[in-house]
Amino acid sequence: MQDPKTIAIIMDGNRRWARKSNLPVIHGHRKGIETLIKIVKASKRKGIKKLVVFAFSTENWSRQLLEVNGLMNLISFGTDTNLEELIENEVKLTFIGNIDSLPSNQKKDIAKCVEYTKKFTSFNLIIGLNYGGHWDIVNSVKKIQYSKKNISEKNLLRFSELGDEDVEIFIRTGGEIRISNFLLLNIAYSELFFVDKLWPDFCESDLDNILNEYKKRIRRFGK
């Protein structure tokens, strides 16, 4: 088995970690950002080229207003606070999802991060914001129709947010065993790993265990 180049992660468990620690929910999300930065650095050291993470789904808008507002503020906090570190580590930052529908302040912060890191090519952190797999499929079909091309499996992937990227490994922390509408078009043949640890507790050794297990598997692609 070749070493994986693209990994996707649903970073689940921030809220439960905060409650377990008797802290406000937003502290769990902040701790989750710290974990993300550590895993980004570890992934780059291990030769992974792209890390795709699910930060905020189209369904998350239904959460309590206080938490949603906190998450929106955390987007600005996270991008601004960690931008210098991402630049130092030559991490390209890109975003997938319905970014146009986000509040103006967050869109400005996102645009700034994208602009400042666009020159880096060795590692790409791709963040799903206001993203949903169903939305991605519908949006892809609209793009195909606008381009006046045929609707086909190839074009459906090509016009999706992640393109025809092969996601070799799909990880979900927090003990839940489901994919929650993430990258439906790109994980058809991914190797799935479900980890009991809450995301803030996830560490490099957990990633190593997954990479070692991945090497033992055989990807047959339905053959």
Domain residue limits, the chain: 6-216
Active site positions, annotated: 12, 60
Q: Give residue 65's pLDDT.
A: 63
Nearest to 74 by CA among 18, 6, 132, 123: 18
Length of the chain: 223
pLDDT digits (tens, 9 = 90+) for 158-176: 999 999 989 999 999 999 9
Q: Judge contact between 60 and 71, C-beta under 8 A.
A: yes
Q: Measured in whole angstroms, how far is the alpha carbon of residue 44 from the centre of its chain? A: 15
Q: Give residue 68's pLDDT.
A: 67
Nearest to 189 by CA among 213, 210, 218: 218
Nearest to 129 by CA among 66, 195, 197, 76: 76
Fold of 6-216: Undecaprenyl pyrophosphate synthetase (3.40.1180)
What value does the mean pLDDT take over residues 52-64? 78
What are the C-alpha distances in Å from 169 to residues 3, 4, 65, 133, 152?
10, 7, 33, 17, 25
pLDDT digits (tens, 9 = 90+) for 104-146: 888 888 898 899 999 999 999 999 988 999 999 999 999 999 9
Task: Look at 74 and 40; give whichever has higher pLDDT.
Answer: 40
What value does the mean pLDDT take over residues 21-30? 90
pLDDT digits (tens, 9 = 90+) for 185-197: 999 999 999 999 9
Q: Give residue 35's pLDDT.
A: 95
Nearest to 152 by CA among 182, 185, 188: 185
Q: What percent of the chain has pLDDT over 70?
A: 91
Q: Judge contact between 174 and 16, C-beta under 8 A.
A: yes
